[in-house]
A and B are shown apart, each in its own frame.
Chain A
Amino acid sequence: MADILGGIVEAFQLIFTGDPEILGIVSRSLLFSGTAVILAILWGTPLAMLIAMKEFRGKTVIKTFLNTLIGLPTVVLGLILFLIISRGGPIGFLGLLYTPAAIMIGQAILVTPILVSIGVSAIESVDPEIMSLSKTLGASESQAQVAVLKEAASGIILSDIASFNRAIGELGVVLLVGGNIVGVGNRTDVLTTAISRNVQIGEIGLAVALGILLVIILFTINIIVAVLRKANYIVELAKAPYFRLKRYRETKQ
């Protein structure tokens, strides 16, 4: 019990004094996971559009496969990536092992199944009328697809947030491909790996502080998004160009 209380007290002291060690770890976590999710959005969104909007054989198989991948243990993916980017592996010559890029790409790959899977459901749930309406209004195939995507914005954003949550709270990939390197040079330790390491070396207070911060970060981001979703700001923002397009076409006729 004393451990828990002592840990929490020490944790708040560390947080409120703006301990540079903690600030560094938090900013690395946000930077690595943020970049990873942006990368995943960039390649996951078109994949989701492709799967949701095109008809092709094996579509159900692919969707089932993606849903299975969501549950892939992160250490397994970490191990696979480690073997690929290790100097003995197929792309070892790039020297990516134990760099931030390895972490970002690893996490991006990890969250892609979540992003695509939720994204596909979101796009498929959009009223098919939108597609035909856009086309009637003179939109090209590409513009119509974008219109549908904007209609699905709410679900897409949900998939992005779910991805970020998974990325920032993930341990296996960052540990195996990032190496959890500390010191004064280029560090690759993030919130989760630092918690694990500090428990290992008996720095319970620091570990509790990092754990609290991780939870606070997740709460803050999710609350902001929830409020924005409720007020429909993001959706309206995203939809606005579609309505402008609609109005433009209407005034032209």
Chain B
Amino acid sequence: MQAWQKLLIVAALATIIVVAGTIVYFNYFTKRRLFISTTTSLDDTKLLEKIESDYEATHNVDLNILAVGTGIAIQHAKNGDADVVLVHAPSVELSFLEDGYGVNRKIIAYNFFTIVGPADDPAQTSGKTATEALFNIVQYGQNMPDQSGGTQIWVSRGDNSGTNSKEKSLWTAAGYNYTELSEEVWFASTGQGMGSTLTIADQKNAYTLSDIGTYLKFYSDGTISLSSLILEEQPLLNVYSVMAVSPTVSANQSVHEDINFEDAMDFIEYLVSDETQELITNYGKDTYGQSLFTGAVQPLIDDAPQPLVSWIQDYAFFDGSECPPQYRNGYADLYT
């Protein structure tokens, strides 16, 4: 036998040992893993870090959080690479449920998006409604002196995330076509997370749409100096929901057999519990002077405060329910 043949056999053995070792280690020697695919805003604000340490202190499960944005989070779940999705784009969530990938949806929290921009507000958006503000931004962009593409005054996520979906619907509501606007010289698209996009908007002195949580964290850290110009109105409502990935997907059953459904449901029940809801609502109050997120479970049960609850129902309910019965799989106590 030649030297290189001997070495190749050693290499093959070493590779097998690494792979087998990992498989054995993760199957027998560690806590069960629960993969949570999530929007970046929950992770960038470090809320999930807090929830993770709180949950793992009392449960024998290792939460593996993949902060990727709503679009990819849903894609992960379809591939069977996530057990739970934690997202904020009702229209995307509905098709996810309809396609049979998601079950047992629960609305867990809400806050508001905000349009942020330079403090001197060149497009005069402050105090306007979102629709008027977007109109002013387009007018300003189309009429500003520099039309070379060197100056961009609107920065879009452009990544099919929940924030990006919201941005598209706001443009539509204001009478514009997102795809056409994105071709214009004053319009930039980052394809990155909320944090990066805010930083880019800050550097460019441009406007962007942000969830209030990420914005407040970056603003109070001094990372960005953009001002929040439009606040709490119905079209800017942001609703976060959690869904378990269905372990029985007829389309590709083999892929979804390994879904950790039991732990996923346990985690969802933990999220909607009174203690966790309180944790979510109080998160960031000390540091930022206001809540970054508000727990939505109790308001929906109480049907108060109004008009907020009816806004949530308008925006994020399907057929008058946060999860119509055909998309439920056991765990009836979640919906009483």
List residues of chain A with CB under 8 Å of any chain B CB: 35, 38-39, 42-43, 45-47, 49-50, 53, 86-88, 92, 94-101, 104-105, 108, 141-143, 145-146, 149, 179-186, 199-202, 204
Using known A-B contacts A87-B79, A184-B56, determine if residue A49 contacts B7 with beta carbons closer than 8 Å. Answer: yes
A202→B217 contact, CB < 8 A = yes
Separation of A149 and B4 alpha carbons in the complex (Å): 10
A95→B62 contact, CB < 8 A = no
A86→B81 contact, CB < 8 A = yes
Main secondary structure of the interface of B (DSSP, over half): helix
Residues of A within 8 A of B26 (CB): 95, 99, 186
Minimal beta-carbon separation of B1 from chain A (angstroms) = 7
B66 nearest in chain A by CB position: A179
Interfacial residues of chain B within 275-321, with CB under 8 A of chain A in the complex: none
**Cβ-based interface call for B53 (8 A):** yes
Minimal beta-carbon separation of A129 from chain B (angstroms) = 19
Separation of A49 and B3 alpha carbons in the complex (Å): 9
- 26 inter-chain pairs at a CB distance below 8 angstroms, sorted by A residue, are A38-B14, A87-B255, A87-B256, A87-B258, A88-B81, A92-B80, A96-B19, A96-B23, A100-B22, A101-B22, A142-B6, A179-B64, A180-B66, A180-B67, A183-B52, A184-B52, A184-B56, A184-B62, A185-B30, A185-B56, A186-B64, A200-B193, A200-B195, A201-B43, A201-B46, A202-B218
| Interface residues of B, count at CB 8 A | 54
Residues of B within 8 A of A88 (CB): 79-81, 252, 255
Using known A-B contacts A95-B258, A99-B26, determine if residue A46 contacts B4 with beta carbons closer than 8 Å. Answer: yes
B19: which of A43, A105, A141, A186 is its contact (CB, 8 Å)?
A105
A183→B4 contact, CB < 8 A = no
B3→A87 contact, CB < 8 A = no
| Residue among B11, B21, B221 with max Cβ neighbours from chain A (10 Å) | B11
B23: which of A50, A95, A181, A200 is its contact (CB, 8 Å)?
A95
Q: 4 shortest A-B CB distances, which residue pairs? A: A185-B62, A101-B22, A43-B11, A42-B11
Using known A-B contacts A88-B80, A202-B218, determine if residue A35 contacts B18 with beta carbons closer than 8 Å. Answer: yes
A39→B14 contact, CB < 8 A = yes
B3→A101 contact, CB < 8 A = no
A202→B11 contact, CB < 8 A = no
Separation of A87 and B37 alpha carbons in the complex (Å): 14
Residues of B within 8 A of A141 (CB): 2
Interface code B23-61, partner A: CB below 8 Å = 1, 0 otherwise? 100110011010100001001101001001100100000
Using known A-B contacts A88-B80, A181-B65, determine if residue A46 contacts B8 with beta carbons closer than 8 Å. Answer: yes
B79→A202 contact, CB < 8 A = no
B1 nearest in chain A by CB position: A142
Separation of A46 and B15 alpha carbons in the complex (Å): 15
Residues of B within 8 A of A108 (CB): 15
A182→B23 contact, CB < 8 A = no
B11→A86 contact, CB < 8 A = no
Residues of A within 8 A of B49 (CB): 182-183
**Cβ-based interface call for B107 (8 A):** no
Separation of A181 and B221 alpha carbons in the complex (Å): 24
**Cβ-based interface call for B10 (8 A):** yes
